[in-house]
Structure 1
Amino acid sequence: MSYHAPVLVVTDDESSPTLAALTDAGLSAVLASSWPEAGDAIGRLRPSAVVVDSGMPVAALETLARRIAPLQPYVPLIAIGTDGGLPENVMPFSADQRDLIHLAPRLRAALRVRTLHATAMRRLSDPGDLADQSGNDPLQDATVLLIGRGAVYPSLSVALGERVGVVGALSIEAAAKHLNVRDLDGIVLAEGFSPRVVDAFLTVLSEDTRFRNLPIVVGIPAPHGSFELPNLEFVDGDAARIVGAALPLVRQRAFEAQLARTLASLDAGGLLDPRTGLLTEAAFERDFATAVYQAQTRGEGLSVARFVLHRADRRAVNDAARIISRLMRKMDFGTLQTDGSLLVVFAATDLRNAQAIARRLSSVIRQTAHSARREARIDPDVSVATLLPDESARAILTRVVQQDRRRAAS
């Protein structure tokens, strides 16, 4: 992979191992700058990424981070050997020189996010549209899988839950189920598992391309194995330190997911909602009217399910929509309505089969979607209606809404 803009290494050591490691990795031009000159070097070189060597004063790092944050496209900022209290756009990296072999893979993964951002900016007729979509902190839409059963698990759950959506798993088996049914922005593996189990779990993740680039923060001492996981961090400390190491990596991953959904929407001619991966409301209305007409003409079945997530916040609703987008059949389609309800159309499906499919989707949402309010259980109310002879698209939608209202009244 080639990058035309240079990678800037901020260091006061002319023989810096960091500089040597990145140069040997075959990245595009790797240039060095001293700490006092770093700000001017960024303005002059407009680097594709910035790597700060260990030892840079925290105040100087904060100034550098503020300089880099507004740059477009995204400029990754990696700080080596820093500990806690980092600016939001600074990603940590271990100070252990033996780990420098993993620095280039982490940088390549970050640069792929930059390339994705540049692609989205180029393809949008108005790049301001992308700024509107990603103007909020990507963490507001991020979900992290927390695995553990030790004493630190409750404090980790609270600390993570204050910033991101959290899906909890008390076993590796439960974690595997979550990984297979939903999109996640990171994994935090807490104590409670033997080194052998941790080693096996990380090996499986490194061998699966779906999870290889996930941020993975492990809150126990590193096992002896070596893993091809560019965003893997081992943090020995309390919940605050673990969360502090995880959030910058999770933020980058969530931003990458936003960009991927935006590009998918562009590929579909703007018919997909970049927040959810489902159809926009306008596209849904058009496709639904066509589907009803074709079903009536051909004498085929067609059913509609409406999912209502009472007391759920916007993150949980978007989360549920993305779960449905991932799990529904290729022949089906759906949308997230402005009132927060989800409509899913099951093509060529009678009422009995539609009810079974809707129950399965509802069960997955109940088990894996979580509200920011930890006490609020996400338990969707589901209404299903099937198309009657000579019924219009508007009529079947009215019926499915009325079913939900009757259920609420009772």
Structure 2
Amino acid sequence: MSHQGPIILVSSPTPAALTAALSDANLFPVIDAAWSEVAEAVERLQPAAVVVSGDYEERAMAALAGQISAKQPYIPLIVTDPSGPLPRNAISFASLEGQFDRLVPRLRAALRVRTLHATVLRRIAADPELRGSLARTDPLDEATVLLIGRGSGYPALSVALGERLGVVGTLSIEGAARHLNARDLNGIILGEGFSPRVVDAFLTVLSEDARFRNFPILVTVPGVTAGYDLPNLELASGDPLRAVDDALPLIRQHAFEARLGRTLQSIDAGGLLDPRTGLLTVAAFDRDFATAVYHSHDRGSGLSVAKFAFDQNDDRVLMDAARIVSRLMRKMDFGTLQDDGSIIVVFAETDLRNAHAIARRLSSVMRQTSHSARRESRIDPTVTVATLLPNDSARAVLGRLSQDGRRAAS
């Protein structure tokens, strides 16, 4: 499956600066299409991306977005200076005084997601289950963003974001750095409460780190310019809540890219990893745990197990918690998301005391994520820890873990 194709430019009239920017990028041939012929052009040309500029009718835009979203691999749809509400898969781009130089890096970042999608589709061509898993839900349902701020607009931003995706909040740039290094995130919202100098230093550090260069970043601090090597940087010039709406398609795109990355990891691991969580599948966990118990007895080494149980029957909460564990657990450890919604992690060569300390650190990170403004929608696991005793079987350890969990819950 080839990901090559032209860029379809839908505009009336076409801004000269936009044409020049796309031509100078030298990515693919750029083909102009009127609104009356764009549907036929998408079917015939199988474009790599579609760029819309100028006025449009909402009904026509919705039809184009629906047609594009049904295509595989992913086709980026970018709308410059939108004049009205956009469909959920349309990425907005605000030109600065009619300049489109920043459009090219944003388009390149989106095309990298398309290339990754094409690679995954090629490798799972014979696996219909994995193909279906890529489109099972809206990627935004499993996205988590970092909200940084301490100004008056922070509560409103927190509520607006929490209604749609997971939110990790912090009041300082130092706290933000810790979260960025410790967990998987899909975007950054930088609210008021910081000076332009502090914001400049933070954005400069992000632009110099390849891990965060393509992050969706929304800045609501006045006086900040877009002069950074950050293709998905958005500046809120008006209502911050409206700016959040404009940033969601970029966050969705990044969450989809993360989903593709986990799928590739699962493929490389021979299907032993769950592409939703990055943890072992239940069958692989059972096999590895039995082997770990056998070797621990044979070598006389320690082994402990932790169970994280959740009151919420919320798939988004469970997926986020599982990905936190997958990211933060030690390389020697392994875990799985059980069918009952609990997460079990095995700590190799670890006694009970150290296992408690590790489990507390994991649960502490989980509790810093919320999925709405309500306290009951925050991730708040009940943690139970057990250690391997002489003559214990794998089943005995897990059975004791479940019994201790029931006592802890009561």
- TM tier, smaller: over 0.9
Indicate whether 1:323 and 2:331 are aligned. Answer: no
Cα distance in 2 for partners of 1:132, 1:353 equals 37
SS in structure 1 opposite 2:62? helix
Q: Quote the Cα distance in structure 1 between the aligned partners of 2:226 and 2:75.
A: 31
**8 Å Cα contact 1:121-1:127 kept in structure 2:** no
The two structures have a TM-score, normalised by structure 1, of 0.94
Q: Distance in 2 between matches of 1:155 and 1:196?
A: 24
For 2:118, the aligned partner's letter is A
Which residues in structure 2 correspond to 1:4-403 (within 5 Å)? 4-13=4-13, 16-97=16-97, 99-124=99-124, 125-127=126-128, 129-221=130-222, 223-224=224-225, 226-311=227-312, 313-367=314-368, 369-372=369-372, 374-376=374-376, 377-403=378-404
Shift of 1:97: 4.7
CA positional deviation for 1:304: 0.7
On the 8 A contact 1:261/1:277 being kept in 2, the answer is yes
Alpha-carbon distance in 1 for matches of 2:140, 2:183: 17
Runs of 4+ in 1 over 4 A off after TM superposition: none
SS at match of 1:144: strand
- Is there any run of 5+ residues in structure 1 with no aligned partner, and where? none
Q: 1:223 to 1:371 in 2, by over 3 A?
A: closer
SS of residue in 2 equivalent to 1:211: coil
Note the C-alpha offset of 1:296.
0.9
State the 1:55 CA deviation: 2.8
CA shift, 1:262, in A, is 0.8
Instruction: Answer with 169-178 or 113-122: which moved more.
Output: 169-178
Deviation string 1:304-324 (CA, Å, 9 cap, x unpaired) is: 111112236221221111111
**Are the aligned partners of 1:12 and 1:33 in contact in 2 as well (CA < 8 Å)?**
no
Secondary structure in 1 matching 2:353: helix
> In 2, are the aligned partners of 1:313 and 1:371 still within 8 Å (CA)?
no
Q: Deviation at 1:222? A: 5.0
* Alignment partners' CA distance in 1, 2:331 and 2:48: 38
Higher mean alpha-carbon deviation, 308-317 vs 261-270, is at: 308-317
Distance 1:397 1:48, change over 3 A: same
Deviation at 1:223, TM superposition (A): 2.1
Task: Give the whole-Å Cα distance in 2 for the aligned partners of 1:45 and 1:92.
Answer: 23
Give the C-alpha shift of residue 135 in structure 1.
2.6
Gaps of 5+ in 2: none
Q: CA deviation at 1:15?
A: 5.9
CA distance in structure 1 between the partners assigned to 2:69 and 2:312 by the alignment = 35
Q: How many residues align?
A: 407
Call closer, same or farther: CA 1:370–1:113 in 2, change over 3 Å.
same
Amino acid at match of 1:144: V
Work out the CA distance in 1 between the residues paired with 2:310 and 2:365: 13
Q: CA deviation at 1:59?
A: 3.4
Determine the C-alpha separation between the residues in 2 that align with 1:203 and 1:88: 29
Taking the aligned partners of 1:44 and 1:247, their CA distance within structure 2 comes to 30
* Deviates most, 309-318 or 69-78: 309-318
More displaced, 77-86 or 90-99? Answer: 90-99
Report the more deviating stretch, 191-200 or 204-213. Answer: 191-200
Deviation at 1:149, TM superposition (A): 2.1
CA RMSD of aligned residues (A): 1.8
**Residues 246 and 44 of structure 1: CA distance in aligned 2, closer, same or farther (over 3 Å):** same
SS state of the match for residue 370, structure 2?
Answer: coil
Between the aligned partners of 2:97 and 2:64, the Cα distance in structure 1 is 23
